[in-house]
Amino acid sequence: MTEAAAGELDERVVGRRWTVRLDPAGRGSTAVRVSCSRPSCAARRLPSAAAGRAAAIAHVKAHLKAAAAPRAQAYCACRAESCHVHIRPDERQTRAQPWQCGGAVVLAVVTDREGRWWQAMECCSRCAAATSGAKVVSTAPAVSRPAAGAPVTADRPSPAAVGGPRFSDRPPPADVAREVPAPRSVPTRRRPPYRKIAQRIIPHDLRPVVLRDELVELGDLFRAYQQRTEPDLTLLADLQERKARAFSTWADVTDDINLRLEAVRAEQAAATARSQHLQRIGCGPDGEGPAVARLLTAPTQWEHARSVLAHVADHCPLPGPQARLLVLMLTLRTAHSGTGNLVGQDVTALGLTDPEDLVERLTGCGWLDFPGTVADLLASRPENPTPISVPSLVPGQDGPGPFTFGKKMRPKLSGWAQRVVSDKKLRKAKAPPAVRLLSLTLASRTSADGRLGPGGQGVCLESLTAWVPVDPGELRLLVDRLTAADWLADAVFTDTRLTGQVCERILPLTCPLP
């Protein structure tokens, strides 16, 4: 540093700075001490950190309110102690671009993230911008410059003295007034606008363009639908159908299985919305006649019911319709976690020939597990149920169990099956387990208006005997018993199918096929 530059810095004043601290008052106490670096401010003791922090902030604000505006002749207070944004003179030979102060003088407040100290200081705007957490409170007023070449007089000092703060240790040329360099502007990063649908970002380069435009429009329509004050289930169903088609095409383009699953969920949501709309307006599935108030109301619930029946048909550990019916009811009790509660009436009400022997056979083969004896299980009552466990249904470490529905869906499915097998007329006719199992199977294989099979075309006999393990001749007797119990009407056997219509009182218990 030259002597001229040193003399110029000596003529300037050091920026003001004061610090307010928050420190513990002592061990074993929640009290804190608030202190200020100004000698005239006495320390205060407060009962808690929250009260101390509030008092410290109020103390800093009082100083800032009483303090004069920043002085244009001051140089950085932080430079006096060689803070990290300043470079010492002995480092200027080793640094390619030394730090230079610049900009107007400001009064800034700096605080730590933990809220333990607050510091107010006069510094240049560059140093304030480079200090983490600094907040500018006020700025020194600009000082007008005299015209170039104006004579230096007592009331008109030199341009170097009044031309605004110059935070640098290098003197300007004697004959040229040096302008203070403006701080460099931080370039703003321009993010390209992106659009989203179902929490997924639509790629800008997605092709074909028609697909991207459809996804963008659908995203806007769904967001507009969410702003509606009243639901419109018909509109929602149309949007879900469009979403299903668009996501299916998106999955074909990108080969993303998650997009295909999203398309399937959109199809299910569209079907559910249409079904709910028909129920609201009091129409049936075909839009005519009264709506059916089904026990299971959504297509997803109907599919879950059929999935449990199919699982039991493939994994029943014992042969025969009695074992199949008991395994089905126990599976519905434990489907979500592999565990559940059971009372004796749940077993005895199924019309089993020898329920005690059947339960012992299930425990003997390892499919069922519960504490105590079979007699204790059959004697248990609702106020003291028996906890049971089906090991094959317990979710493993590598993933969930064999079913995809949640714990709220399980009791709905179990209640539906219990309503079907305990139908009043089936109980009065003392229907055997095979008849009750057939009633469950047929209730899950009807059309929307109650006719058997998809579209009312009937149920394939081969698949029916796979779900109800009886001979074709015995199957006819079971159908006759359902007809006598006012459960089934117009039953007709062909070589390959069973056609018919469930009675009107059974319609609420049906699970229509798509």
- pLDDT of res. 241: 94
Q: How many residues does the chain have?
A: 514
Whether residue 56 contacts residue 20, with contact meaning beta carbons closer than 8 Å, is answered with yes
Q: How far is CA 264 from CA 40, 73, 212, 285, 445, in A?
A: 74, 72, 19, 21, 21
Residue 454's φ and ψ, nearest 5 degrees, are -65, 125
- Consecutive 10-residue averages of pLDDT for the chain (514 residues): 44 77 81 86 86 88 82 71 56 52 83 83 83 83 55 46 41 46 56 78 90 92 90 90 94 92 93 78 52 80 91 91 93 89 90 91 92 90 91 79 84 92 89 92 89 89 89 89 91 90 90 86
- pLDDT of res. 229: 86
- pLDDT of res. 137: 85
Q: How far is CA 494 from CA 440, 457, 460, 491, 499, in A?
A: 21, 12, 10, 10, 8
Distance CA 322, CA 187 (A): 77
Distance CA 20, CA 25 (A): 15
H or E stretch at 118: strand 117-124
Residue 139's φ and ψ, nearest 5 degrees, are -125, 145
Distance CA 33, CA 432 (A): 84
**Cα 388–Cα 336–Cα 511 angle in degrees, nearest 5:** 110
| CB-CB neighbours of 110 under 10 Å | 19
- pLDDT of res. 192: 56
Domain residue limits, the chain: 12-139, 195-281, 299-509
442 closest CA partner among 456, 431, 425: 456
